[in-house]
Amino acid sequence: MVCCGLTTLDLLYEVDAPPGPDQKVVARDMLLDVGGPAANAARVVAALGGRAALVTALGAGPLATVLRATLAGIDVADLAPASHRPPISTVMVGGGGRAVVSVNATRLAGTSPAHLPEHTAALLVDGHLMDAAIALAAEARRTGVPVVFDGGSWKAGTERLLPHVDVAAVSADFSPPWEGDVLAGLLAAGAGVAVRTDGAGPVEVRTPTAGFTVAVPAATVVDTLGAGDVFHGALALAIARGEEIGTAVGRAAAVASRSVGHRGVLGFQSSDSAEA
């Protein structure tokens, strides 16, 4: 399957608590890793045994080299010019909270055209490369490929993307430009199915004719960073494998729940985690 969107280089600091204004803290540990919703989703797909391709913006230079090495095993299509510098995110995690500073993809002036590879089973888009996301989603819709939208936030152009989306999966923090029922609004905007997560709370699922919730397995939380990316990657893979929406959401929730019990986005791979 194909994931389209943001890749970042993440500097992760483990702290007692994220610092406040004018406060300096010393981290207990540091990790350099890949980040970004689409990149993390591609890594999740690969870790769960799927074949993952990533359409993103890397450019050239030492940062892009590090990212490509970390994404080994994933087919990467780079839409950025050589002059592009991948964004860096600084993430501080600790004390049950986190703080993130990033420029995401806002500095990227444009991208080269994108096309779906042959035999694509599903497409996940995070909206960070909006023009590419819309083009790929429209192509997917024409060819019968299911499209999953990772709605981390409302971005310029989201209204043009949603009519091409089969499953719009957002979090409780998703803030659209309309008042009232978020899930009903997503359906009205063109999405075929609307899904909303709420941390450890039940996942809401809404179709044009029905609505239901899916329970999230209990977990001892160690690290929630990237939990949404894990959910979306596992959800898209389940849909690519032909699972119906309730089963796919339940499987994704189980993988994300295991992930938060361990450090890192791919914590569900830990040896003491159950098989998906």
Compute how many other C-beta atoms are within 10 angstroms of the C-beta atom of residue 79.
Answer: 20
pLDDT for 271 beyond 60? no
Average of per-residue pLDDT across 107-120: 77
55 phi, psi to nearest 5 deg: -100, 115
pLDDT for 274 beyond 50? no
Confidence of residue 112 (pLDDT cuts 50, 70, 90): low
**In contact, 229 and 152? CB cutoff 8 Å:** no
With b meaning 16 or more CB within 10 Å and e meaning fewer, what string describes 33-59? bbbbbbbbbbbbbbbbebbbbbbbbbb
pLDDT for 273 beyond 80? no
1-47: pLDDT as tens digits: 999 999 999 998 989 988 888 999 899 999 888 999 999 999 999 99
132 phi, psi to nearest 5 deg: -65, -40
C-alpha distances (whole Å) from 191 to each of 57, 65, 150, 159 are 26, 36, 12, 10
CATH topology of domain 2-20+28-265: UDP-N-acetylmuramoyl-L-alanine:D-glutamate ligase (3.40.1190)
90: left (phi over 0), alpha (psi -120 to 50) or beta: beta
Confidence of residue 275 (pLDDT cuts 50, 70, 90): very low
**In contact, 147 and 166? CB cutoff 8 Å:** yes
- Domain extent listing, the chain: 2-20+28-265
pLDDT for 224 beyond 90? no
